[in-house]
Structure 1
Amino acid sequence: MAAQTVREGGCLCGAVRFRAEGEPLNVRVCHCRRCQMAMGSPFFARALFDQRALTIQGDTACYPSSEALERVFCKACGTRLFSRRTNGSATGVALAAFDDRNAFAPTEHIWVSEKLHWVCLDDGLPQYPGTVPP
């Protein structure tokens, strides 16, 4: 049996470290207004992992940004690291928080109906006005 891929990362100050095992469920860039506000950025680029594949060490805090998601960040430096589904099923990990920030490349853009007007999407990836269709 082949060894499972493990990728690690953490926050700016190093107080929080995480470990993600295996491959993500998907890798997307979200342009919704909640992600913009939560990240303080034009979008949230993240890899979605099954909650059981993620191990987090360090002192974090969270904010419930909706009924479905809570945003998790380092208590010491404030680095925004995760969007965790409140049902416990999955966690989105900020791509830039991985030690190898090029470990994953997004495969699609979601909620482009809410993207900032000056953001130009010319990467050739699929774009969806809302979430990905079923």
Structure 2
Amino acid sequence: MIRHGSCSCGQVRYQVSGEPSRVGICHCTSCRQETGSTFTAFAVWPRSAFQSSGDFATWSGRSFCPKCGSRLFALRDDEAEIKIGTLENAPTNFTPQYELWTWRREHWLRPVDGARQFQRDPDE
């Protein structure tokens, strides 16, 4: 399966192939500030399953469209972390397998059923 995504203005496009290796939600301050929301939802693919076109900018490991500002992905040597909201076909069939930084989760948000809960990052 190939999934496509893009920024709001369409200058940056990407695709990922296959299924993600994991799906999560993060409530940390950095993710909240980056998205302007109370959390970010993401899916992670092997870096080899990711392709992009168009010029994007990167700050602190996070890539975005320099024209419209859409936050898109974080690329590492081995992985591509995609912001689920930038995928074209919503809703997706993804269910978060874990939540990070749950001590920062808003009190009115409930834990995702069946997802592992981490007060911080899993390795801390």
The answer, yes or no, to whether TM exceeds 0.5 is: yes
Q: Which residue of 1 aligns with 2:19?
A: 23
Indicate which of 99, 112, 116 corresponds to 1:109. Answer: 99
Q: 1:120 aligns with which of 100, 103, 109?
A: 109
Out of 29, 36, 43, the position equivalent to 2:32 is: 36
State how 1:1-134 maps to structure 2 within 5 Å. Answer: 5-64=1-60, 70-85=61-76, 88-103=77-92, 104-115=94-105, 117-124=106-113, 125-132=115-122
- For 1:11 and 1:114, locate their aligned partners in 2 and report how far apart those are by CA, in whole Å: 27
Structure 2 residue runs without a partner (length 5+): none
Instruction: State the 4+ residue runs in structure 1 displaced beyond 6 angstroms.
Output: none
Question: TM-score if structure 1 supplies the norm length?
Answer: 0.82
For the aligned residue pairs, the C-alpha RMSD in angstroms reads: 1.8
In structure 2, distance between residues paired with 1:82 and 1:127: 23
Q: What SS does the aligned partner of 1:105 have?
A: coil
User: What is the TM-score with the length of structure 2 in the denominator?
Assistant: 0.88
Q: Distance in 2 between matches of 1:128 and 1:89?
A: 23
Contact 2:23 2:44 in 1 (8 A): yes
Deviation at 1:122, TM superposition (A): 4.3
Alpha-carbon distance between aligned partners in 2 of 1:97 and 1:58, rounded to the nearest angstrom: 15
Structure 1 counterpart SS, 2:117 = coil
Identity of aligned residues (%): 30
Question: In 2, Cα distance between the equivalents of 1:30 and 1:122?
Answer: 12
**Number of aligned positions between the proteins:** 122
- d(CA) in 2 for partners of 1:100, 1:72: 21
